Amino acid sequence: MVTKVLGILGSPCLRGNTSDLLDAALRGAAEAGAETERLELARMSLRPCMECRKCDSGASCVQKKDDMQVIYSRIRQVDAIILASPIFFMSVTAQTKQMIDRCQCFWVQRYVLKQRIYEGRVRPKGLFISCAGSPKPVVFEPARHVVKAFFAAIDYEYAGEVFLGYTDDPALAPRKQTALEQAETAGKMLFS
């Protein structure tokens, strides 16, 4: 059976530090034998949650005319998600948060209806990758909580994180190389 890994880039910058770390993690997963796919939220048509509460009854999200249908399908099919978002104002990007908020239907299924999302198969894993311009390690804390809540809602095991801080540093190169190696290893370790 082929293991499937979905990389989700939540950065509006499609070729920056966060993207590079995501690619390294996906490369590691591929080297471990996984089939990988990368989605770029900035290129997708996503609408925000309207808090209409229709999913409270167990129904799926009523918004059917955007690319969340692709994401919902992948969440149910893959064995791991690598979510990559830079830090914007101490949290994930608007693109990432919009996608997370639209996963309320999974939260209802798991916590209100008390249904396991992955009955009969190994619980999928979630890896978080993030970059921040700030040199302060605390800058990642709020985003870590958001992403852990997201993975819990979709019934994924939080498998770890790779953070690269102080990306505004002119001497970033050696630290970035270390983070790229950590990301590749983390991608491989998703299935060890």
* DSSP bridge partners of 5: 36, 80
Tell me the per-residue pLDDT of 15-25, one tens digit each, with 9 for 90 and over: 999 999 999 99
Task: Identify the band that residue 41 occupies on the pLDDT scale cut at 50, 70 and 90.
Answer: very high
Q: 23, 60, 64: which is closest to 40 by C-alpha?
A: 23
The answer to whether 18 touches 6, Cβ cutoff 8 Å, is no
Q: Is 24-41+65-189 assigned to CATH 3.40.190.10?
A: no
Structural domain boundaries of the chain? 24-41+65-189
**CA 155, CA 109: separation in Å to the nearest integer?**
10
**CA 4, CA 1: separation in Å to the nearest integer?**
9
Structure tokens at 15: 């070729």
What mean pLDDT, rounded, does the chain reach?
Answer: 94
**CA 93, CA 67: separation in Å to the nearest integer?**
18
Residue 173, CA distances (Å) to 136, 137, 140, 165, 170 in order? 18, 18, 20, 12, 8
Tell me the pTM.
0.95
Q: Which range, of 3-17, 47-61, 84-98, averages the lowest pLDDT? A: 47-61
